[in-house]
Amino acid sequence: MRLRLVLLWLGPACSVTSAAAGLGDLGTLARTILGASQGVYVETSDGSVLLSQAASLAVQPASISKVPTTLALLRKLGPDYRFVTTFAAAGPVHGGMLDGDLVVDSGGDPYFLDENALLVAMRLNEAGVQRVRGSVRIRGELIFDWQSDDAAVRLSRALAGATPPAAWVAVQSLTPAPVAPPTLRIDGASNASSAGSPNTTAGGDAWPLVIHRSQTLLAMVKSLNDYSNNVFKPLADAAGGTPEVESLARGAVPEEMRAEITLADGAGTDARNRLSPRVAVRLLRALEQELVRNGHALVDALPVAGIDTGTLRARLDGPGEAGHVVGKSGTFGDYGASALIGAISTTDLGTVYFAILNHGVPVPQARARQERFLRALLARLHSVAWNYQPDLRPAIARAQATLVARTPAAPLALAAR
């Protein structure tokens, strides 16, 4: 009976040891490089744990918080979802002039930039509008150039051509390439405001002229994660709000781990946010499962180290490293938070997932430790580069702006485009 009990106890430990055979003592490696108090967790695709150090310690994860927000957005809206912004005429159009306001119905697109404004202005020109006698009015919450403050005023200026030269260069990359910048005069731009009430003509209607559709949600979150853009904070509202993101995240992990998740915002800027290393890996794998379910992979939503421009471009970018790690970094010096989580494809262990969540370590030092540990891990694994080719087109090339077909009630005939 005594021998039987010993064998039952040894079973799980043996499975871990078998999976880690040939990797050396990862525990000693973690203590030496990262520090004994720092959280790190590594497991294989079959769930075998290769390393667990302070793995249940929940700390401020910084932008790792964007991973559960990405998961929630994709589950709620789907990878092919596009945010719609409609530009409508609150008055008749004649002789190249819109005799009234240009009404903008915002659908919450967080990626509407100067380039998008120029594209819309081009379409308005094609619709026969060169001048707006009124002003630009907003319905709904508009985020323009990553900010909501004075969005109507700033959008008015951009529609009128007051954009950085780089914005027009990006628009010129479209096919067919536009010959000249759009020309749109807005008389009342200085009085533009983000009014929440409907903007209508005397007859009570505004007629759609141009419909702008954002790039797909998947392409959008990929770009935002590449640069760790904190527009994720308002973007979480599209997933139902931060409480909904937190609830979904907790539902994606075993019950005993749920207390290790606290999300007060969807971007990682709130000091109250907390994740543990083992939870971070679980959420990363839940995101991967959601992507695979729709025919995609982690590389389609998160940056690939040494390949994608952004936060991971200059990290793990050496020979035998570049393209081998897909993941997400997190940095918030004010809170002493620095983190790196990700996945490594191997020929013998399947995918190896890891999470390093540093706390109380100066950011430059924490990053150096993370990279040193991962280089040591890569040297022990039979890793291969991810099957991935980055989309090098500017974001505007993935957006759409179309003219609205004529309707019997519309005061202007518009050809579908």
Read off φ and ψ for residue 73, nearest 5 degrees. -65, -45
> In whole angstroms, what is the distance from residue 143 CA to residue 151 CA?
7
Say what the pLDDT of residue 15 is.
33
Say what the pLDDT of residue 335 is.
80
Where in the chain are the domains? 19-79+218-384, 84-214+395-403
Closest CA to 75 of 289, 330, 232, 233: 289
Say what the pLDDT of residue 17 is.
41
- Residues 229-275 have pLDDT tens digits of 999 999 999 999 999 999 999 999 999 999 999 999 999 999 999 99
Say what the pLDDT of residue 410 is.
52
CATH of span 19-79+218-384: 3.40.710.10
* Fold of the domain built from segment(s) 84-214+395-403: D-tyrosyl-trna(Tyr) Deacylase; Chain: A; (3.50.80)
Say what the pLDDT of residue 334 is.
83
Q: Are strands 383-384 and 337-346 parallel, antiparallel or unpaired?
A: antiparallel
Positions of the chain with pLDDT under 50: 1-17, 190-204, 408-409, 412-417
